[in-house]
């Protein structure tokens, strides 16, 4: 199957890999709808979404029993992709009410996690939430139109991105992107990054939708992130560390752990690279990178997924989120043109949602992969 090298942004054509691999439109549509229903309204052992009061709702991190800016922004992206405005607005209203800072060093950023009743556990933000919030809000504006605050989606998105770039210029606080390298940080105060936070396909769109004075910055950030991923991903295995310095080398161990290796955060890198290729098709390296990571995992059973050094040595420590890793390995097929692409598409199709305590992260990655591989993860 020939690749769309121009990218869906220019062609408005999105590959449906499930259709290419023999599944029918009816089967694909039913699988997407059923998965949405299970995640948002299914049985207690599967669902991750919970309505709250008359106008709010949250995604629960079922492994940690908290609500995270990551999950809230993911839920909003799922909802806008699925044209589910009620759930989107409930998630946004919870996030705006309980998680977004109104003042101080984190003004307009979001506390990275809180309790299900909205009580903040930590004040600090995690930048992957902000970038997903902003992109989901822009898509909502373009898909549904803007309403009265807090549903003036585009304005809310621009406010978040303004803080991400300019925080600290005229007072306390720190930006979320390093001004010198144009690379996203792990947290605003950190001198290093997280490869899985790099979303050049979002930054290309921020360059069109953000404040006019920042549009050039976002164009530079997209190019910087693509170049950074070349350095952060191992040239043979395709594996990347969870945290990496601005030069792409694994970041040193932190007080809260050793993140020099390929583990939970890093699973998202393959998915992000594949979606960037699908949307913009600007970097042929992404095809080879996707082939590399699929080749590495092609002969490893999902039940045997582990923590790995970036050069591929396994630890005696199983993956906490094997279904999530399978999902991102499958999503790599959007860019991959190697011999293992079909294997992962079929394997993913035949794998159900995860159930039980650790299901949240796996099933977020699962749903994004389901959308992407069906051609339904789209630019609005």
Q: What is the pLDDT of residue 196?
A: 98
Q: Is residue 146 part of a domain?
A: no
Taking only the tens place, the pLDDT of each residue in 54-109 is 999 999 999 999 999 999 999 999 999 999 999 999 999 999 999 999 999 999 99
Give start and end residues of each alpha helix (H) in 187-244. 200-209, 215-232
Confidence at residue 198, expressed as pLDDT on a 0 to 100 scale: 99
Tell me the per-residue pLDDT of 341-355, one tens digit each, with 9 for 90 and over: 999 999 999 999 999
Active site residue 70: yes
Cβ count within 10 A of residue 95:
27
- The label of the residue with tokens 């997924």 reads 305
Please give the tally of structural domains in the chain.
1
Give the single-character DSSP code of 351.
-
Any long-range contacts for 41-48 (C-beta under 8 Å, 24+ apart)? 45/355, 45/356, 45/359, 46/353, 46/355, 46/359, 46/363, 48/359, 48/360, 48/363, 48/364
Among 38, 61, 70, 242, the one annotated catalytic: 70
Strand partners, 114: 67, 120
Task: Judge whether 374 lies within some domain.
Answer: yes
Average pLDDT for 33-62: 98
**Each residue of 217-260: pLDDT tens digit?**
999 999 999 999 999 999 999 999 999 999 999 999 998 999 99
Q: Is the predicted pLDDT of residue 150 greater than 50, yes or no?
A: yes
Q: Within a domain: residue 17?
A: yes
Residue 168 has pLDDT above 50, yes or no: yes
Tell me whether residue 217 is in a domain.
no
Rounded CA-CA distance 138/121 in Å is 28
Q: How confident is the model at residue 5 (pLDDT cuts 50, 70, 90)?
A: low
Mean pLDDT (whole number) for 34-43: 98
Question: For residues 242 and 263, is the Cβ–Cβ distance under 8 A?
Answer: yes
Look at residue 4 and tell me whether its pLDDT is greater than 80.
Answer: no
Domain annotation covers residue 151? no
Catalytic residue among 265, 276, 278, 362: 265
Domain of residue 278 covers 1-47+233-380
- 346 part of a folded domain: yes
Residue 309 lies in a domain: yes
- Between CA 14 and CA 82 the distance in angstroms is 15
Average pLDDT, the chain: 97
pLDDT digits (tens, 9 = 90+) for 263-303: 999 999 999 999 999 999 999 999 999 999 999 999 999 99
In a domain, 269, yes or no: yes
Residue 238 belongs to a domain with what CATH number?
A: 1.50.10.10
Once rounded to an integer, what is the mean pLDDT over residues 46-56? 98
Q: Is the pLDDT of residue 3 over 90?
A: no
pLDDT tens string 328-337: 999 999 999 9
Q: Is 265 a catalytic residue?
A: yes
The DSSP result for 93-124, as a single string, is: HHIIIIIB-SSSTTTT-B-SEE-TTS-EEE--
| Residue-level pLDDT at 6 | 86
Q: What percent of the chain has pLDDT over 70?
A: 99
Mean pLDDT to the nearest integer, 212-221: 98
């Amino acid at each position: 199957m020939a690749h769309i090298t121009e990218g869906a942004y220019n062609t408005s054509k999105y590959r449906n890999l499930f259709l290419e691999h023999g599944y029918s439109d009816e089967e694909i549509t039913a699988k997407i709808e059923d998965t949405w229903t299970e995640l948002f309204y299914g049985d207690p052992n599967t669902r991750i979404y919970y309505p709250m009061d008359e106008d709010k709702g949250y995604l629960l991190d079922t492994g940690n029993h908290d609500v995270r800016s990551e999950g809230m922004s993911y839920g909003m992206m799922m909802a806008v992709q699925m044209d589910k405005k009620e759930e989107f607005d409930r998630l946004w209203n919870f996030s705006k009410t309980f998680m977004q800072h109104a003042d101080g060093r984190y003004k307009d950023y979001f506390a990275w996690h809180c309790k299900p009743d909205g009580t903040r556990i930590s004040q600090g933000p995690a930048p992957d939430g902000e970038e997903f919030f902003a992109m989901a809000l822009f898509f909502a504006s373009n898909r549904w139109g803007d309403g009265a605050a807090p549903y003036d989606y585009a304005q809310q998105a621009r406010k978040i991105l303004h803080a991400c770039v300019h925080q600290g210029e005229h007072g306390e606080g720190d930006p979320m992107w390093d001004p010198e390298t144009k690379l996203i940080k792990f947290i605003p105060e950190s001198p290093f990054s997280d490869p899985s936070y790099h979303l050049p396909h979002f930054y290309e769109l921020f360059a069109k939708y953000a404040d006019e004075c920042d549009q050039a910055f976002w164009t530079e950030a997209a190019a910087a992130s693509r170049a950074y991923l070349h350095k952060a991903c191992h040239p043979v295995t395709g594996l990347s560390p969870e945290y990496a310095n601005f030069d792409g080398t694994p970041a040193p161990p932190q007080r809260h752990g050793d993140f020099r290796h390929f583990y939970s955060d890093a699973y998202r890198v393959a998915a992000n690279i594949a979606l960037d290729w699908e949307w913009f098709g600007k970097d042929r390296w992404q095809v080879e990178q996707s082939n590399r990571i699929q080749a590495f995992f092609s002969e490893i059973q999902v039940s045997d997924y582990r923590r790995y050094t970036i050069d591929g040595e396994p630890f005696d420590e199983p993956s906490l989120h094997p279904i999530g890793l399978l999902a991102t390995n499958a999503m790599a097929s959007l860019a991959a043109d190697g011999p293992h692409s079909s294997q992962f598409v079929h394997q993913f199709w035949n794998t159900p949602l995860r159930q039980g305590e650790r299901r949240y992260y796996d099933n977020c990655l699962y749903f994004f992969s389901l959308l992407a591989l069906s051609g339904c993860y789209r630019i609005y």
